[in-house]
Each structure stands twice: as structure tokens, then as C-alpha cells.
Structure 1
């Protein structure tokens, strides 16, 4: 789980008023490790799924009961924390978040 304060896009979402979950613990500076059951218990409205090539993609997670629980009441938007820093890339990400957040 991403730590919001370490990622530019997440800090920007927080500045816009989006309430982000900041995972507890000290498992890493940028990320906190948790299993799917722990993530499912967070009751999120929107999931930002890592869309990098090395990440498990949402379609692969669909067989996981915990993933289905996590996403049952939440939208899922793709997020690449290493996207090119360009206005178009940022606009695309924020547009995708807005679409998922507003249903």
C-alpha cells in the first residue's frame, strides 16, 4: 500500500480534499506491506491499482475473494507511480480518478 506523502500524485489528491489512507507501520518509506485481507478491511471507496508491468493486474486478482471484497463497493483506477512527469500524463491520471470516484 502506497504511503500518500511520498508520491506526488497522491499528495496532490490529498491537497484537493481526497481522503487517503496512510498505512501504519514502518515497513518501508514508500510502501507498506499488507495482505489482501488486511487491505479488504480498510473499506475504501476507490482503489488505485499499480499498473506497472511488474505489478499484479486487477484481472489477475479477480479470483481472490479478498480482492472481490475490497473492490465490491469501490471503483478501481490504474495508477503508475512512475508515470512520465508531463501535464498530459497527470491530467489522464486525475481524470481516471475522477471518473471512478464519481461513478
Structure 2
């Protein structure tokens, strides 16, 4: 993941990306440039709680590209926010795509 794709610290291990939210997010967190059709789940690392998310991409990409890059918007309920740092995991289906 490139630095401009998420405004915060992120790390990756295999098919999982970790978003390290060091500042309190508002209602949502956005991540750009991800293979949106490969997203399997979005969870809070601390307790495994599933988070709701939506995806979007350009219409042309969704019609003509079988594996489009787009934006992932994660809903952040107040109940999952840690006072110091909240870590969110994004799991992707294994693929050869470089993201």
C-alpha cells in the first residue's frame, strides 16, 4: 500500500493489511487503491469484531476491469475506538495482484 492511500500508519503481512489509527477517526476511515473485489473482511484487531464497509470505483473500471482498484470506506462505531490506538485489519482473498 502506498502512503497516499491511507492517511495514517499501515503495515502488511501476507494478505492482511493493518491500519493503525493513532488519532481518533470520525465516523469513517477511507483506504484508496485497494482491489475492492478481493476484500474478504474488515475487523478490529483487539476483539475480532467485524466492521461494516462499502466499496466504490470508477464505473468504467467496474464494467471493464475484472479486478478494479477502488476505495474502501470503513464505518467506525465509537464503541470500537481505543483511547490510544485502534488497529483495523483488512483481509484480502489470495491473488497475484500487487496492492
Given the two structures, how large is their TM-score scaled by the length of structure 1? 0.27
Structure (1/2) with the larger strand percentage = 2
Structure (1/2) with the larger helix percentage = 1
Bigger relative contact order (CA 8 A; separation at least 6): 2
